[in-house]
Structure 1
């Protein structure tokens, strides 16, 4: 029995360890079967750890993807678009390789904005500031042109909430376009129509930002540097106060955000001459500082998502930017635009009583420069992304050939320049138009060229306008087409050889986004 018992226990000892070893001690440097068993155990433990790590990684990827998807859904839910059906059928052709973005600052008091800006929460939407941002084709340069809200323009026919369209409104304040229809959200399409007619440039995108969106942006970037020439008090922001009130801003450079940033850009009195033009200068400096803060944070999706979330909560855009993918893709396309090459100017202007008039031919030359994708110093920035701008030099602008077959036009000289109607007539005839007659206009103080047209003749009028870059369209009651030549055409009567350069006073007054907030700042 003892032998049987001994034989019966041997397999047990082999499984537990090496021969002649106590159970559980095999494998510590022993070249026998215990070493192979221990190695298998270690491999199994490593495999289990690898599987656990892989599962953790996969879980993080899934959760990360779900998080990104949630963020995109949230952004998509934030974004509001306006009705593109309100855009004119007579839009300028896309004559530039770059992009034009219309940025409208709305002072609507709805959706909590009244708490930030005061005023009646039931009031209609109004535009407080407007600029046209031209992004050059090389994606390294940009030019923002401010249009004063009191500028006298012709507001073209615009769509009403009822579905009908208004008549053209000549000699009307520019910011009235946003209020057409008198809705609380405003009329971005009407403002876009007005800018396209005024400039002859096709607007690729329109963005409306209200008080809340603006304040949120400044908070996300951690504040924006500004500079003031003197202390500013509550009464300066609200002249109706009977007392000076609390100190809002101290003299000198400081960082502002939220409500304080909004007060700064809205401030008109208490600095300089209290004019809207002076305020525009401060707003340009502010936007430049804001862009610098955004660039310093980095143009990556991770950095842009918080900015996008803040902006889209109170932003209305055209359908072309109406999704998170489109909006972020557009923002990423701007990452190489250089701050020093991002310039701010105001459309050439002069006072017309209490209002502002656009100065021609200066403004026409500015729009021609943008159409030709040339910078303020004359450099060619149309080479496409990744191409360096060519050295400054004389430029030519060659518009596509225009066929005027079957279109009858009467030509009027709206200036004191002798023989201008004859020159305009010759230009039209060369393109196949039928000129029914020439004469002197009733008024000889026209600055811009105007193409007048009757009902149902908008398409033909648009064709006529292509012969005179920068021409304005004006609907009239009579069934005919008139061209009233302005000083812009008198200065450059040969559009085929238009010099793409801006007046020196416009270029010299430009501000760069990287300028010191306390340097070269005019307060009016």
Structure 2
């Protein structure tokens, strides 16, 4: 008996062109993916080339021959200068004559601690009276040292439209005793573009601001520029906000500095929220580089992006803003000593604002490595003036910080009449021998010399430059108490002077 089963119908014939179509689709998808990768890579490469072409560098030949030595710390010091130069179309944003000389409008010295987890930005008021050391002129000659000179005058040495970043760097190194590793100058256009790329910056105003606040020569208030409270600004509006002086707080430059610190803190929040990766940084760099002038050490896209990437682990809460200790001196600003010297000594020692060691140099037990020092002394009730008798920058500031930590009162620091002293000298007036001996104990090998003038003065020699000193324990409390963190609420501390 034959058993008949149900047979599956034969499959339809498969045409060869169906397989070819599927293969073509796969190859097309692969080509598209490859093209995207190639275009992305080429685009990034093109942008790097564009950035390299955009970046301007200043002549490092204008830097002083007597710079502070690079410290043992691995930390870095970056000088950030906001220029109000009107060249390159900046006159359209800031007004004024495009052929006017360049000036520095805002200056921060940013100390990036060696642990790359902390940073401290120190604002230097533009009206501060400082010593401007010799600086190079366009014809190749050098100026003479000028004392009691407004800080922002250093940028204008040579009276060029582009300004003189090297002279400002020389002045900051002379003031602080710290070696500046990099200098970055941003003009109006670069600042405005940067705020646009990040999508605007959140600010908070204590009251309404009108046109006559930006231009006090107006006889009427004009239109409302900024309303009271929180708002986001970018481009020209951001530039107007940070430049307003008379319409907020007490109308002083010090008040404006506090507001600029709050603005930069908010800007850092925006940049950080985007992520510090080369992909995210390239558009930011492209926005800024057309208006950047940097030292040769940052003069390429690779160097600039690499430096920015090195800051990615710095926590916003550990990024602080302070102003150099100051007081009014008539219509100008005087740097207050010894607090300023103590601040810069703390930075050189990589001490954070609360006294922690962020230098990355620990012993096995986790404590800072101790340094050999002169025996501790008590200088309570003793006034001392400190003079630098060498060509090495920053010795007077270092000695002032040490004396202050020992209880002495430092009445001032200055450069000695001659800079060829090998040893340290303690000069004392009539009836001051006992106190002078106490001062001498703070300086190993110091000699005593009686003089006819009253008071006690320390003249530092070359031997002090190589003598180890104890690191200060913290930034002075008067400075730390006014610090702002980058993660502070933008509406906090709106007194602005």
TM-score by length of 1: 0.77
For the pair 1:83 / 2:59, whether they are aligned, the reply is yes
Q: Which residue of 2 aligns with 1:4?
A: none
Q: Which has the larger radius of gyration?
A: 1
Determine which of 33, 40, 44 is the counterpart of 1:64: 40
* 1:52, distance to aligned residue in structure 2 (A): 3.5
2:157 matched residue in structure 1:
180
Aligned mates of 2:195, 2:360 — CA distance in 1 = 34
Counterpart in 1 of 2:488?
515
Q: Among residues 104, 110, 113, which one is paired with 2:90 in the alignment?
A: 113
Determine helix, strand or coil for the equivalent of 2:317. coil
1:372-411 superposed matches below 5 A:
372-383=349-360, 408=422, 411=425
Match of 1:252 among 202, 206, 229: 229
Q: 2:307 aligns with which of 319, 324, 330?
A: 330
Deviation at 1:307, TM superposition (A): 0.8
Query: How far 1:48 sits from its partner (Å)?
Result: 4.2
Q: Measure, in 1, the Cα distance between the counterparts of 2:443 and 2:175.
A: 22
> Secondary structure at the residue paired with 2:34?
helix
Q: Is the counterpart of residue 159 in structure 1 residue 121 in structure 2?
A: no
**CA positional deviation for 1:51:** 3.6
Partner SS, residue 280 of structure 2: helix
Do the aligned partners of residues 45 and 229 (structure 1) sit closer, same or farther apart at CA in structure 2, a change above 3 Å counting?
closer
Q: How far apart, in 1, do the equivalents of 2:67 and 2:222 lie?
A: 49
User: Following TM superposition, by how much is the alpha carbon of 1:229 offset from its aligned partner in structure 2, in angstroms?
Assistant: 1.3
Aligned partner of 1:20 in structure 2 is none
User: Size of the alignment, in residue pairs?
Assistant: 441
> After alignment, is 282-291 or 219-228 more displaced?
219-228
1:55 to 19, 31, 35: 31
SS in 2 for 1:466: helix
C-alpha deviation, 1:236, in angstroms: 1.2
What corresponds to 1:502 in structure 2? 475
Paired with 2:262 and 2:56, the residues of 1 have a C-alpha distance of 28
Please name the residue that 1:319 is paired with.
296
The Cα of 1:231 is off from its aligned counterpart by 1.1
Contact 2:346 2:471 in 1 (8 A): no
1:144 is paired with a residue of what secondary structure?
A: strand
The superposition leaves residues 342-392 of structure 1 with CA deviations (integer Å, 9 ceiling, x where unpaired) of 0000011111121111111111111111111111111111228xx9xx99x
Mapped to 2, the partners of 1:502 and 1:417 lie a distance apart of: 35
Distance in 1 of aligned mates of 2:452 and 2:222: 55
Query: Per the alignment, in what secondary structure is the counterpart of residue 328 of structure 2?
Result: strand
Change (3 A) 1:467 1:352: farther
What secondary structure is seen at the aligned counterpart in 2 of 1:53? helix
1:302 positional shift: 2.1
Of 496-505 and 109-118, the range deviating more from structure 2: 496-505
Q: Work out which of the residue numbers 338, 342, 346 in structure 2 matches 1:369.
A: 346
Larger deviation, residues 418-427 vs 74-83: 418-427
Counterpart of 1:207 in 2: which secondary structure? strand
Across the aligned residues of Structure 1 and Structure 2, the Cα RMSD in angstroms comes to 3.2
Q: Distance in 2 between matches of 1:417 and 1:513?
A: 52
Q: 1:181 to 1:39 in 2, by over 3 A?
A: same
Shift of 1:108: 0.6
1:205-284 to 2 correspondence within 5 Å?
A: 205-284=182-261
1:169 paired with 2:159, answer no
The answer as to 2:80 corresponding to 1:103 is: yes
Give the aligned partner of residue 376 of structure 2: none
After TM superposition, give the deviation of residue 270 of structure 1 in Å.
2.2
Q: Deviations along 1:120-163, whole A, 9 cap, x unmatched?
A: 21110000110100111111111000011111111111111111
Cα 1:427–1:163 shift into 2, 3 Å: farther
Q: TM-score w.r.t. structure 2 length?
A: 0.80
5+ residue gaps, structure 1? 1-26, 452-460, 469-494
Residue pair 2:443, 2:464 contacting (<8 A) in 1 also: no
Instruction: Supply the distance in 2 between the matched residues of 1:316 and 1:414 (Cα, whole angstroms).
Output: 48
Change (3 A) 1:312 1:445: farther
